[in-house]
Protein backbone atom coordinates (compact mmCIF):
# COMPACT_ATOMS: atom_id res chain seq x y z
CA UNK A 1 0.00 0.00 0.00
CA UNK A 2 0.82 3.72 0.13
CA UNK A 3 1.99 4.10 -3.45
CA UNK A 4 2.59 7.48 -5.04
CA UNK A 5 3.07 7.83 -8.78
CA UNK A 6 4.45 10.67 -10.85
CA UNK A 7 4.00 11.38 -14.51
CA UNK A 8 6.00 11.87 -16.60
CA UNK A 9 9.18 10.26 -15.30
CA UNK A 10 11.26 12.49 -17.52
CA UNK A 11 10.50 15.38 -19.81
CA UNK A 12 12.54 17.53 -22.16
CA UNK A 13 11.13 20.86 -23.23
CA UNK A 14 12.19 24.02 -24.99
CA UNK A 15 12.91 27.21 -23.11
CA UNK A 16 9.79 29.33 -22.71
CA UNK A 17 7.30 26.48 -22.70
CA UNK A 18 5.28 25.18 -19.73
CA UNK A 19 5.46 21.69 -18.31
CA UNK A 20 2.95 19.94 -16.06
CA UNK A 21 3.94 17.16 -13.66
CA UNK A 22 1.28 14.99 -12.04
CA UNK A 23 1.49 13.37 -8.62
CA UNK A 24 -1.08 10.75 -7.65
CA UNK A 25 -1.68 8.74 -4.50
CA UNK A 26 -2.85 5.39 -5.85
CA UNK A 27 -4.26 3.59 -2.85
CA UNK A 28 -4.90 6.22 -0.20
CA UNK A 29 -6.32 9.68 0.19
CA UNK A 30 -3.60 12.27 0.54
CA UNK A 31 -4.55 15.06 2.89
CA UNK A 32 -1.33 16.88 2.13
CA UNK A 33 1.08 16.72 -0.78
CA UNK A 34 4.57 18.15 -0.94
CA UNK A 35 6.78 19.14 -3.85
CA UNK A 36 10.55 18.94 -3.60
CA UNK A 37 13.39 19.82 -5.91
CA UNK A 38 16.67 17.92 -5.91
CA UNK A 39 19.84 19.04 -7.67
CA UNK A 40 22.47 16.44 -8.61
CA UNK A 41 24.13 14.91 -5.56
CA UNK A 42 22.23 17.28 -3.29
CA UNK A 43 19.47 16.95 -0.75
CA UNK A 44 15.76 17.47 -1.28
CA UNK A 45 14.58 21.04 -0.91
CA UNK A 46 10.93 21.61 -0.09
CA UNK A 47 9.28 23.90 -2.63
CA UNK A 48 5.68 23.94 -1.45
CA UNK A 49 3.00 22.22 0.54
CA UNK A 50 -0.50 21.73 -0.79
CA UNK A 51 -3.72 20.67 0.86
CA UNK A 52 -6.72 19.51 -1.12
CA UNK A 53 -8.99 22.34 -2.09
CA UNK A 54 -6.80 25.15 -0.79
CA UNK A 55 -3.94 27.25 -2.06
CA UNK A 56 -0.43 25.90 -1.81
CA UNK A 57 2.02 27.26 0.74
CA UNK A 58 5.34 28.09 -0.89
CA UNK A 59 8.74 28.11 0.78
CA UNK A 60 10.73 31.27 0.89
CA UNK A 61 12.48 31.94 -2.38
CA UNK A 62 10.17 29.79 -4.51
CA UNK A 63 8.35 31.78 -7.17
CA UNK A 64 4.67 30.93 -6.92
CA UNK A 65 3.96 32.37 -10.37
CA UNK A 66 6.58 30.13 -11.95
CA UNK A 67 5.74 26.94 -10.07
CA UNK A 68 1.96 26.61 -10.10
CA UNK A 69 0.58 23.94 -7.81
CA UNK A 70 -2.96 22.62 -7.93
CA UNK A 71 -4.33 20.06 -5.49
CA UNK A 72 -7.74 19.43 -7.02
CA UNK A 73 -8.57 16.17 -5.29
CA UNK A 74 -7.44 13.94 -2.45
CA UNK A 75 -5.45 11.82 -4.89
CA UNK A 76 -3.99 14.31 -7.36
CA UNK A 77 -1.66 17.28 -7.22
CA UNK A 78 -0.02 18.95 -10.20
CA UNK A 79 3.06 21.11 -10.53
CA UNK A 80 3.28 23.32 -13.59
CA UNK A 81 6.59 24.94 -14.42
CA UNK A 82 5.64 27.99 -16.44
CA UNK A 83 7.91 29.64 -19.01
CA UNK A 84 10.63 27.14 -18.22
CA UNK A 85 14.28 28.12 -18.48
CA UNK A 86 17.43 25.97 -18.40
CA UNK A 87 17.98 26.83 -14.74
CA UNK A 88 14.68 25.10 -13.95
CA UNK A 89 16.21 21.81 -15.06
CA UNK A 90 16.19 19.53 -12.04
CA UNK A 91 14.71 16.44 -10.45
CA UNK A 92 11.26 17.11 -8.99
CA UNK A 93 9.82 14.77 -6.37
CA UNK A 94 6.39 14.77 -4.82
CA UNK A 95 5.27 13.14 -1.61
CA UNK A 96 1.98 12.61 0.16
CA UNK A 97 0.73 11.98 3.64
CA UNK A 98 -2.50 10.32 4.69
CA UNK A 99 -4.73 11.03 7.65
CA UNK A 100 -3.36 8.08 9.57
CA UNK A 101 0.19 8.20 8.28
CA UNK A 102 1.87 9.30 11.52
CA UNK A 103 3.40 12.11 9.48
CA UNK A 104 5.17 9.60 7.25
CA UNK A 105 5.59 10.89 3.73
CA UNK A 106 5.27 8.51 0.80
CA UNK A 107 7.40 9.62 -2.10
CA UNK A 108 6.83 9.44 -5.82
CA UNK A 109 9.60 8.18 -8.11
CA UNK A 110 10.45 11.69 -9.30
CA UNK A 111 10.43 13.55 -12.60
CA UNK A 112 13.57 14.65 -14.38
CA UNK A 113 13.01 17.93 -16.18
CA UNK A 114 15.46 19.13 -18.79
CA UNK A 115 14.93 22.54 -20.35
CA UNK A 116 16.86 23.16 -23.54
CA UNK B 1 12.66 26.46 12.15
CA UNK B 2 14.44 23.17 11.75
CA UNK B 3 17.95 22.25 10.72
CA UNK B 4 19.38 18.79 10.13
CA UNK B 5 23.11 18.10 9.92
CA UNK B 6 24.77 15.03 8.51
CA UNK B 7 28.51 15.41 8.98
CA UNK B 8 29.56 12.35 6.97
CA UNK B 9 29.26 12.95 3.20
CA UNK B 10 30.50 9.42 2.50
CA UNK B 11 30.84 6.19 4.44
CA UNK B 12 31.88 2.70 3.47
CA UNK B 13 31.50 -0.62 5.21
CA UNK B 14 32.49 -4.19 4.54
CA UNK B 15 29.63 -6.49 3.67
CA UNK B 16 28.17 -8.18 6.79
CA UNK B 17 29.71 -5.56 9.07
CA UNK B 18 27.98 -2.82 11.04
CA UNK B 19 28.01 0.88 10.24
CA UNK B 20 26.61 3.93 12.00
CA UNK B 21 25.48 7.08 10.20
CA UNK B 22 25.38 10.29 12.22
CA UNK B 23 22.68 12.93 12.31
CA UNK B 24 22.08 15.92 14.54
CA UNK B 25 19.11 18.21 14.41
CA UNK B 26 17.73 21.39 15.86
CA UNK B 27 14.09 22.30 16.13
CA UNK B 28 11.90 24.73 17.99
CA UNK B 29 8.98 22.31 17.83
CA UNK B 30 7.95 20.40 20.91
CA UNK B 31 6.18 17.77 18.84
CA UNK B 32 8.26 16.33 16.03
CA UNK B 33 9.20 13.13 14.27
CA UNK B 34 12.55 11.93 12.98
CA UNK B 35 13.12 9.80 9.91
CA UNK B 36 15.83 8.06 7.96
CA UNK B 37 15.20 7.65 4.24
CA UNK B 38 17.40 5.89 1.71
CA UNK B 39 17.69 6.92 -1.92
CA UNK B 40 19.21 4.22 -4.15
CA UNK B 41 20.41 4.98 -7.69
CA UNK B 42 16.78 4.75 -8.90
CA UNK B 43 16.25 7.94 -6.82
CA UNK B 44 13.09 6.54 -5.22
CA UNK B 45 12.96 7.71 -1.61
CA UNK B 46 12.36 4.76 0.72
CA UNK B 47 11.55 5.05 4.41
CA UNK B 48 14.07 3.17 6.53
CA UNK B 49 12.95 3.98 10.04
CA UNK B 50 10.83 6.45 12.01
CA UNK B 51 11.10 7.76 15.56
CA UNK B 52 8.47 9.73 17.43
CA UNK B 53 10.29 12.29 19.56
CA UNK B 54 8.03 11.72 22.54
CA UNK B 55 9.07 8.08 22.71
CA UNK B 56 12.19 7.28 24.67
CA UNK B 57 12.60 3.80 23.27
CA UNK B 58 14.84 3.60 20.23
CA UNK B 59 13.11 2.44 17.06
CA UNK B 60 14.25 -0.73 15.34
CA UNK B 61 13.37 -2.27 11.99
CA UNK B 62 15.09 -5.59 11.39
CA UNK B 63 18.77 -4.76 10.70
CA UNK B 64 18.20 -1.02 11.18
CA UNK B 65 18.11 0.71 14.53
CA UNK B 66 18.53 4.22 15.81
CA UNK B 67 20.25 5.79 18.77
CA UNK B 68 17.99 8.67 19.70
CA UNK B 69 19.51 11.08 22.20
CA UNK B 70 16.86 13.77 22.63
CA UNK B 71 18.82 16.04 24.95
CA UNK B 72 21.79 15.99 22.60
CA UNK B 73 19.49 16.26 19.55
CA UNK B 74 21.21 13.31 17.99
CA UNK B 75 19.60 10.63 15.83
CA UNK B 76 22.11 8.13 14.43
CA UNK B 77 21.28 5.13 12.27
CA UNK B 78 22.95 1.77 12.80
CA UNK B 79 22.90 -0.79 10.02
CA UNK B 80 23.83 -4.30 11.09
CA UNK B 81 24.92 -7.13 8.80
CA UNK B 82 25.34 -4.71 5.89
CA UNK B 83 24.19 -6.01 2.53
CA UNK B 84 25.02 -4.93 -1.01
CA UNK B 85 21.46 -3.67 -1.38
CA UNK B 86 22.04 -1.18 1.41
CA UNK B 87 24.25 0.92 -0.87
CA UNK B 88 22.47 4.25 -1.30
CA UNK B 89 22.27 7.86 -0.18
CA UNK B 90 20.83 8.10 3.31
CA UNK B 91 18.96 11.21 4.37
CA UNK B 92 18.07 12.07 7.93
CA UNK B 93 14.91 14.15 8.29
CA UNK B 94 13.03 16.05 10.95
CA UNK B 95 9.29 16.61 10.62
CA UNK B 96 7.69 19.41 12.57
CA UNK B 97 5.21 22.21 11.94
CA UNK B 98 3.92 20.34 8.89
CA UNK B 99 7.32 20.36 7.21
CA UNK B 100 10.01 17.72 6.61
CA UNK B 101 13.56 19.05 6.59
CA UNK B 102 16.36 16.86 5.28
CA UNK B 103 20.07 16.76 5.97
CA UNK B 104 22.60 16.83 3.16
CA UNK B 105 22.86 13.07 3.02
CA UNK B 106 25.48 10.36 3.49
CA UNK B 107 26.52 8.16 0.58
CA UNK B 108 26.98 4.61 1.85
CA UNK B 109 29.15 2.20 -0.11
CA UNK B 110 29.16 -1.51 0.66
CA UNK B 111 32.45 -3.29 0.02
CA UNK B 112 31.99 -6.93 -1.06
User: What percentage of chain A carries pLDDT values higher than 70?
Assistant: 96
Quick one: residue B42, left, alpha or beta (phi over 0 = left, psi -120 to 50 = alpha)?
A: alpha
Q: Please compute the mean of the pLDDT values over residues A15-40 and round it to a whole number.
A: 94
pLDDT at B34 over 90: yes
At A55, the pLDDT band (50, 70, 90 cuts) reads confident
Q: What are phi and psi for residue B22, nearest 5 degrees? A: -95, 150
C-alpha–C-alpha distance, residues B66 and A20, integer Å: 39
Cα four-point dihedral sign B34, B39, B44, B46? negative
| Nearest residue on chain A to B43, alpha-carbon basis | A109
Distance from CA of B112 to the nearest CA of A (A): 24
- pLDDT for res B1: 81
Q: Average pLDDT in the A36-63 region?
A: 91
Strands B10-14 and B106-111: parallel
B2-30: average pLDDT: 96
State the nearest Cα–Cα gap between A36 and chain B, in angstroms: 10
Residues whose CB is less than 8 angstroms from the CB of residue A61 and which lie 6 or more positions away in sequence, other chains included:
none
**Phi (first) and psi of residue A55, to 5 degrees:** -70, 150
**Confidence band (pLDDT; 50, 70, 90) for A40?**
confident
A8 prior amide bond cis, ω within 30:
yes
Q: Which residues contact A115 (CB under 8 A, 6 or more apart)?
A: A12, A13, A14, A15, A84, A85, A86, A87, A88, A89
Chain A CA closest to residue B104? A43
Mean confidence (pLDDT) of chain A: 92
Quote the mean pLDDT of chain B. Answer: 95
CB contact under 8 A, B50 and A110: no
Query: How many Cα atoms occupy the beta-carbon half-sphere of B57 within 13 Å?
Result: 3
pLDDT of residue A4: 95
Amino acid sequence: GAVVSQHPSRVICKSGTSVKIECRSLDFQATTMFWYRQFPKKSLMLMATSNEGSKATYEQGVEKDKFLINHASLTLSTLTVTSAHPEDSSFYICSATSRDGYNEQFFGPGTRLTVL
Amino acid sequence: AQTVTQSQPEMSVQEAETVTLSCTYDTSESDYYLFWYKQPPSRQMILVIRQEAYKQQNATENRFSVNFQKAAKSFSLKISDSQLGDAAMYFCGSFGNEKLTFGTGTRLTIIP
